[in-house]
Chains A and B, each alone.
Chain A
Amino acid sequence: MFANRLFEQMDRLFGPAGFDSPDLSPPAYPPLSVWEDEDALYVESEVPGLVAEDIGVSVTDGDQLTISAERAPSTGSGEWLYQECMYGEFSRTITLPVTVDPNAVEAKYEAGVLTVTLRKVESVKPRRIAVKAVVPALAAA
């Protein structure tokens, strides 16, 4: 009885996870957002400070997109007063919601934002089905 109340209190203080399973894992880097239209998926990532030529983008198995690169630390010596930016190598693979054409992938790096355009394969594109109006053979006379 008392133990239950204690856990209830702890849940209230620390959230339902309590002490057992706090999610301490850092968020995946780089952060991604995905948009789509009828023909393509657009995977975008905010990755400032990279060199465009060093960014690796690859698609395997039709729906596995991997983005990898390395960010070099801002140059110069001195005393650090703030250090919040992330540096170093990273690689992230995501599963795309639909199959894409691996031969028609475009990647663009502009103002620290990477945009990967992936064309959907024909079979997954939405298709409008024409509905035929059937004229009854025998109209009620």
Chain B
Amino acid sequence: MTSNLQSAQTQKIETPRPTMRVYAPRVDVVETDDALTLYADLPGVKQEDVSLTCKDGELILHASCLPRHVGKKLLYSEYGIRDFYRAFKVTEKVETGRIEASLKDGVLTVRAPKAEAVRPKRIAVNGG
């Protein structure tokens, strides 16, 4: 696989503060000829609480998530509510200035267009 968006880490999660406990969101990443698209499940996250940083070839996703149902008694729980954090190493050349992101129904979509230099080009063959 000529993979480019490689996982910086899946098991070990580096956080700004080592003591901060976070969840790594589930993601899908799809590569096309002209872009890399990342879909991340961020249930319960509001648009203003998502931060995406592209620095030194790393795409860092951090989303803060506040506790819900404060003041009620928790009876049963199959998941916790914490911040989401995950970092990806972007080895493919992408145009960082043109990365677009949107959040809908708890799914974050990040589209990173590839730099012109790495896009496959179709070369026209001229008949003689």
Chain A interface (Cβ within 8 Å of chain B)? 27-28, 31-37, 41-42, 44, 46-52, 74, 76-86, 97, 109, 111-113
Contact = CB atoms under 8 A, between A and B. Distances in A.
Given A31-B78, A35-B74, A112 B28 contact: no
A83 B44 contact: no
Interface stretch (B12-20, B30-38, B117-125): B30-38
A111 B75 CA distance: 23
B30 A111 contact: no
7 contacts: A27-B78, A37-B71, A48-B105, A49-B41, A76-B30, A81-B30, A84-B27
Given A36-B75, A80-B31, A86-B26, 17 more contacts: A33-B79, A37-B71, A41-B75, A46-B43, A46-B44, A48-B106, A49-B105, A74-B107, A74-B109, A76-B32, A78-B31, A78-B32, A79-B32, A80-B29, A82-B5, A84-B28, A111-B106
A27 B78 CA distance: 9
Interface string B22-56: 00001111111000111101111110000000000
Interface of B: 1, 3-5, 7, 26-32, 36-39, 41-46, 68-69, 71-79, 103, 105-107, 109
Given A33-B77, A37-B72, A44-B68, A113 B28 contact: no
A135 to B, nearest CB: 38
Contacts of A109: 105
Contacts, number: 119
Contact of B43 (A37, A48, A80): A48
B75 A35 contact: yes
Nearest to B38: A82
B75 A31 contact: no
B72 A36 contact: yes
Contact of B32 (A36, A46, A77): A77
A111 B69 CA distance: 15
A74 B109 CA distance: 9
B106 A46 contact: yes
Contacts of A50: 105
B61 to A, nearest CB: 13
